Amino acid sequence: MNRFAALIDALVFMPSRNGKIRLLVEHFATVPDPERGWALAALTGALSFREAKPAAIRELAATRVDPELLALSYDYVGDLAETVALIWPERPERANSLPPSLDEVVEALRAAKRGQVIGLVEGWLDTLDSSGRFALLKLITGALRIGVSARLAKTALAEWGKAARPEVSVDDVEEVWHGLTAPYAELFAWLEGRAEQPATGAGAGFRPMMLSHPLEEEDRAGLDPAAYAAEWKWDGIRVQMVARGGERRLYSRTGDDVSGAFPDIVDHMSFDAVLDGELLVARDGVVAPFNDLQQRLNRKTVTAQMLRDGPAWVRLYDILFDGDEDLRGLSFVERRARLERWYETVRPRRMDLSPLVPFDRWDELVELREGARENGIEGLMLKRRDSAYLAGRPKGPWFKWKRGALTLDTVMMYAQRGHGKRSSYYSDYTFGVWRGEELVPVGKAYSGFTDAELVELDRWVRNHTTRRYGPVREVEAGLVLEVAFDSVHLSNRHKSGLAMRFPRIHRIRWDKPAHEADRLETLAAMVAG
């Protein structure tokens, strides 16, 4: 555990991205298999231990520490693993027992039967020091949040691999990634030049997705309309359907396997292809509000009623593989033709094609984009006709052009501490609008402002606090936040009866008196039809 704990500590305190890559490269180069592989699995979120969920860790800590003090500490620190690592009482006899190795920890957890995990964790916590406890808890709860993304870890792998494999890029690592399992011996062997590249073509692994940039006005001026195709940007979640050699998987944009939650899609994937599309809830071909889809997200399993009430649908954008044939090198136009042909032949149920939107001039599109207020449309996608399907977010071939956001002048009501890097700042704001003489909360936002503005907002919150509830402060009705959001829907989960989609702080109206902020009726009139 020591090398791993030292790596985690060093990563936490390393402010620069390049410095983090250096630390990771050094770790891969000097730590043997399988320890480095388990470390990589931890950093990329590939390890998960069923019973070591945060709630169980919290319960365990509460057996050693006053639960009230634990709760207050967690509110303050903002990170459960760190809280428990710091608050866990040191045992004087610790010096006599040897802390476990990372390999030992992983193997023991894998072999553990239901009900044994927490006991193991408890024993280890008693033998580790504070850094070791932190690393252990981060490892077993599977959410490191130490400023290293899976992508950064893979970048470091490619960087380290350059010594033996100068041609390797991070996308090559992504490409093979989903066919592999921890502790990745074959991956390290390949990058050290001791073995061939692991196979990618077969198997139901995830292929890195192609992502778009937001279209800025100044970009558009330089673009030739004839070079781009347009299609609607549907308001669901981007998915990749992989059906290869009898295996079927549905992946989110980040490669998370969400098959379990959508049997109504997976059941109909009786083909051999890799497709890119938007997952929606649709009834009789009509797309339902995003809220309906939300009911079905983040679930391991679904009930019959959920399948009935919120039937899933995939609107197809692209085809990556047709059988064994890799189509990603073809142009968008060629892939689109293949997609249409494939769809005609296969006719999969619960899926349709996302139609192209014909246009000649940008102003036609502007009009179409603003006119489309129906459910499910977020805006437009522009795709270069000659662009191959590239992993990652290359600038130029694909743009997303969201419908103009709605905005509303609201009043800040509560502020809450952020988590992680923002744990000392009041960075999450609940805002409300007027109903008669009172404010009713209508949403919460924690983005859309700069770091400098965050410092100002935080100061304002501290100077205008009227009450405190743990990590939350109630503030005077004195600061107008202009909030931007994509749409608003009826909701019985909110006091105001309305729920905003993607609210974010658009502008801070330091100049505007609170009583001039908007009223609830104004928001109600914006509800999507």
Partner 1 sequence: MSAAHQSNQGGANPSRPHPDTWIKVLPEGLFVEPGGFYIDPVRPVERAVVTHGHSDHARPGNRSVLATSGTLAIMRQRMGEGVGGSLQALDYGETLRIGDVTVRMVPAGHVLGSAQVVMEHAGSRVVVSGDYKRRLDRTCAPFEPVPCDVFVTEATFGLPVFRHPPDLGEVCKLLHSMALFPERSHVVGVYALGKCQRLITLLRAAGYDRPIWLHGALEPLCRLYSSLGVELGELRPATVAAKEELKGALVLAPPAAVADRWARRLADPVVAVASGWMRVRQRARQRGVELPLVISDHADWDELCQTLEDVGAPEVWVTHGREEALVHYATGRGIRARALALIGFEDEDSEGMPEKAGEGEAS
Residues near partner 1, by CB under 8 A: 9, 12-15, 65-66, 68-69, 72-73, 76-79, 82-83, 86-87, 134, 147, 420-425, 455, 458-459, 462, 470
Smallest gap from residue 89 Cβ to partner 1 (A): 9
**What's the rounded Cα separation, in Å, for the pair 179 and 98?**
36
Please report how close the Cβ of residue 407 comes to partner 1 at its closest, in angstroms.
Answer: 29
Q: Shortest gap between Cβ of 71 and partner 1 (angstroms)? A: 9
Instruction: Write the DSSP assignment of 332-373 as a string of letters.
Output: HHHHHHHHHHHHHHH--TTEEEPPB---SSHHHHHHHHHH--
Residue 14 CB, shortest distance to partner 1, in Å, is 7
Find all residues with CB under 8 Å of 361, minimum gap 6, and list them: 225
Closest approach of Cβ 135 to partner 1, in Å? 11
Enumerate residues 6+ apart whose C-beta is below 8 A from 389: 210, 276, 318, 320, 327, 328, 329, 330, 332, 335
Q: How far is the CB of 17 from partner 1 (least distance, A)?
A: 13
* Helix (H) or strand (E) run with residue 130 in it: helix 130-141
Q: How far apart are the first and last CA of the chain?
A: 56
Comparing CB distances to partner 1, the nearer of 196 and 451 is 451
**Among 435, 409, 431, CA closest to 512:** 409
Residue 504 dihedral angles phi and psi, to the nearest 5°:
-150, 160
Distance CA 453, CA 456 (A): 5
C-beta of 79 vs 186, nearer to partner 1:
79
Comparing CB distances to partner 1, the nearer of 138 and 154 is: 138
C-alpha span between 304 and 200 (Å, rounded): 36
Shortest approach of partner 1 to residue 444 CB, angstroms? 22
Beta bridge partners of 475: 465
Would you say 342 or 425 has its CB closer to partner 1? 425
Nearer to partner 1, 83 or 430 (CB): 83
Q: Which is nearer to partner 1, 54 or 147 (CB)?
A: 147
Nearer to partner 1, 65 or 368 (CB): 65
